[in-house]
Homo-oligomer: A and B are copies of this chain.
Amino acid sequence: MNFLEEKILTDGVVKEGNVLKVDSFLNHRIDMAVMRGIADHFMRAFSDAGVNKVLTIEASGIAIATLLGHLLDVPVVFAKKSETANCTDDKYVAQAYSFTHRRHNSVFVSRPYLTADDRVLIVDDFLADGQAAHALIDLVRQAGGQVVGIGIAIEKGWQQGGRLLRQEGYRLESVAIVDAMDWRTQTVTFRPRESRD
């Protein structure tokens, strides 16, 4: 087990409805050792990818993105959410459906901050159905840039996001892939590294 899988077992809480609460170290209180571990993991995984920009979506992806941007010394861009944004001359807009909030969200980036020269590493704290990741990919494509990798802290392996992104040929690296959880027994089952494709 790696550091993040161990942390999930000790400090994560499984709630009814396949919810994994990690807000004691990942997305409300931020444990800096965990955050550094995640950023280091992505540094190593994408060391040959020629990353020149890190892209994430507000809010909880910003911590990972900032630390990674610091270590790689490349700018970070965070896409903003809006219920109402339309494509205009000054911004790229993509749609993401939130299963949690049961609504479509627009996500956008101001045009000057994504360009055709970008070799983008997309990062986020969670990957579930892949709606947010696909919206970010869409923004990079609209700008003519290239997505050279996707780094995720925790992938929910039973949801389709990871499978779709890998089928589409994206280089996806998740620090931990949770394949099953049981809130009654507080059991979390991780996908072993040798079973990943």
Could you tell me the distance in whole angstroms from the C-beta of A152 to the nearest C-beta in chain B? Answer: 18
Residues of B within 8 A of A112 (CB): 24, 29
Find A109's partner among B28, B36, B63, B75 (CB 8 Å cutoff).
Answer: B28
Docked CA distance A31–B63 (Å): 14
Question: Which A residues fall within an 8 A CB radius of B?
Answer: 23-24, 28-32, 35-36, 58-60, 62-63, 65-67, 69-70, 73-78, 80, 109-110, 112-113
Identify 15 new A-B residue pairs, CB closer than 8 A, beyond the known A24-B112, A30-B78, A36-B70: A24-B113, A29-B77, A30-B65, A30-B66, A31-B75, A32-B69, A32-B73, A32-B74, A32-B75, A35-B69, A35-B70, A59-B62, A59-B78, A60-B62, A70-B70
Residues of B within 8 A of A32 (CB): 69-70, 73-76
Docked CA distance A67–B69 (Å): 10
Q: Is the CB of B70 within 8 A of A29?
A: no
Number of chain copies forming the complex: 2
Residues of B within 8 A of A70 (CB): 32, 35-36, 67, 70
10 cross-chain CB contacts under 8 A: A24-B112, A30-B69, A30-B77, A30-B78, A32-B69, A32-B75, A58-B58, A59-B59, A66-B66, A70-B70
Docked CA distance A50–B56 (Å): 32
Residues of B within 8 A of A35 (CB): 66, 69-70
Could you tell me the distance in whole angstroms from the C-beta of A108 to the nearest C-beta in chain B? Answer: 10
Known: A59-B58, A67-B66. A76 touches B29 (CB 8 A): yes
Q: Is the CB of A28 within 8 A of B63?
A: no
Residues of B within 8 A of A24 (CB): 112-113
Residues of B within 8 A of A69 (CB): 30, 32, 35
